[in-house]
Amino acid sequence: MSARQLRVALLIWKPRNPHAPGDVTGGLPQVLLVHEGAPPWYLPGVILRPGELLLSAAARTACALGLQLPPRHRVLATDFRRPERMTLVVDGGWTSGTDAQVAAGEFSLCHCHPTPHRRRWVASEGLDDVITRALHAALTTPPRKETRP
């Protein structure tokens, strides 16, 4: 029996209107998905290394995408469907303009991700329930403000 793994997936979305990213009157935003070789397509992510902080794993994923992790640090959804590998979906924020173009297309090799990946923006209507829940949480739940004693 293999050891259980914790996968940290990054939800990155592209709003329909970058001037009003929270406006969903025209529909939900697109979500960035990746795959290695043959599909299925999935959220970009990495396996949490022993002793690694969740935020560090999310930052490794953002680095592989050529993006910076947003200042929000929150888990949007969890996926327990595969008992050997639980997935935490972390808020990767939204992107538009040049960053959205960087995020679409072919991954380049980098020290964060040794395997090249393909990536694309997909309509939110065809996403599985975990990604849909995470997207709704990102859009409707404002991040907590940090309080200091």
Residue type (1 letter), 142: P
* pLDDT tens string 62-111: 888 878 888 877 999 999 888 788 999 999 988 887 777 766 665 544 54
CA distance 110 to 138: 28
Domain ranges for the chain: 6-140
Q: What is the pLDDT of residue 149?
A: 45
Kindly indicate the confidence band of residue 114, based on its pLDDT and cuts at 50, 70 and 90: low
Predicted model pTM = 0.83
At 89, give phi and psi (nearest 5°). -95, 115
Separation CA 30–CA 36 (nearest Å): 20
Between CA 110 and CA 133 the distance in angstroms is 30
pLDDT at 107: 52
pLDDT mean across residues, the chain: 81
